[in-house]
Structure formats: C-alpha cells, structure tokens
Structure 1
Amino acid sequence: MELEKFKGLHVRFFGKELPEEVTASEEYEAYVDAIHEDEACYNWATAEKLKSKGFDYESFCCMMMADKVYGSLDEDGEIKYDEPEVIINKWDEDLYGIPVHNGSATMVVINYCPWCGTKLSA
C-alpha cells in the first residue's frame, strides 16, 4: 500500500472504537494488512505511536525492537518482570534479554536483535 494512502487510513481507523461494518470492510482489511506486511507502513505507524508516548525510538536498531522494548515498560518506565506478554527487556547498561516466564526475573541475554539481526551494544 502506498504510504500516503496508509496515513490517511490510519487517521480514520487508529485508536477509535469502530463499528463492525467498518472493521469488516475491504479498506480496513487493507489497512491492517499494511501494518503487518508493509515495512514502511509499520515503521511509520509505530514511530507515530512511540512519539506520542515520548519514547526515544530512534536509539534502537529497528522499530520492532523499539516497540517491543516500549511494551516491556510500565507507566513509570520500569521493566515489567512478571508480565507474560513481555518478550524482550533492555537494561540501562545496554543489555538486552528475553525473559524466562518462570515466576522469577530470569533472562536470557542476547547479543543480536531478533528482528533485524543488528549486533546489540554490550
């Protein structure tokens, strides 16, 4: 999908309670597909979301990493250790890890981004 068209659909659909006739439309389906299948659309939409939250996404290797790290933080910016939906954490020391959801704060430290393959700072 052309990015400009996606931006227009994003304004119409994002963050709104939409009736079923809208969510069942081909236009809405194309919008959702673009988020999942078009890197430019995903990157733009994610950057907009993270900007609106005041999150410094530009310091990350890719938008997926920035989005997943953002999702690992609570409203105070602290790591959510006991949240099963968290799939990656970043510590102040530029260490990244994948949480082991076993009731403790166990992590598997990683050296490369799981999404773009960039070597992570250590």
Structure 2
Amino acid sequence: MTERKSNCCEMMEIFTTFNCDLHKDKYECPDTLIDHNTESDDYSIIIHDGGTSGIEINFCPWCGTKL
C-alpha cells in the first residue's frame, strides 16, 4: 500500500477527506467542496449542478500552495 500524501494545510485536509453521512455521492452533498482524483493527483472545486462537473485548481484556495 502506498503512503497517502498529506495535504498542504488543515483546511485542504478537511475538505478532501470529508465524508457525508446523508449523501452517498460526493457530488450530491453541498458540503463537499473539493474533489481529489488520486490517480491523476488533480484537484477540482465541485460544481453542484446535479452532475459531476468541477473546475480544476492548481493552487490551494486556503493557503495558496501549488497543488
């Protein structure tokens, strides 16, 4: 098993590991803000429009670190 890369700041850690008890899909939960694709190591801000869209980000929205 590969060791998980830690996130750049506490807020990014919270929002990339958030699991909602009410919604089975992260795209349905309005509290899930960040999607992290572990295969490609890409980050995106989820667009809550009923689909699975997101806006790719290259810098942390909280601390500004390059992702």
Q: TM-score range by the shorter chain?
A: 0.7 to 0.9
Gaps of 5+ in 1: 1-55
Q: 1:94 to 1:74 in 2, by over 3 A?
A: farther
Question: Which of 80, 95, 100 is residue 26 of structure 2 equivalent to?
Answer: 80
Aligned-residue CA RMSD (Å): 2.5
Question: Which structure has the bigger radius of gyration?
Answer: 1
Query: Percent sequence identity over matched residues?
Result: 39
Name the counterpart of 1:91: 37
The answer to which structure has the higher strand fraction is: 2
TM-score (norm 2): 0.78
Name the counterpart of 1:106: 53
The answer to which structure has the higher helix fraction is: 1
The offset of 1:57, in angstroms, is: 7.9
Measure, in 1, the Cα distance between the counterparts of 2:54 and 2:27: 10
Measure, in 2, the Cα distance between the counterparts of 1:57 and 1:94: 11
Contact 1:81 1:105 in 2 (8 A): yes
Gaps of 5+ in 2: none
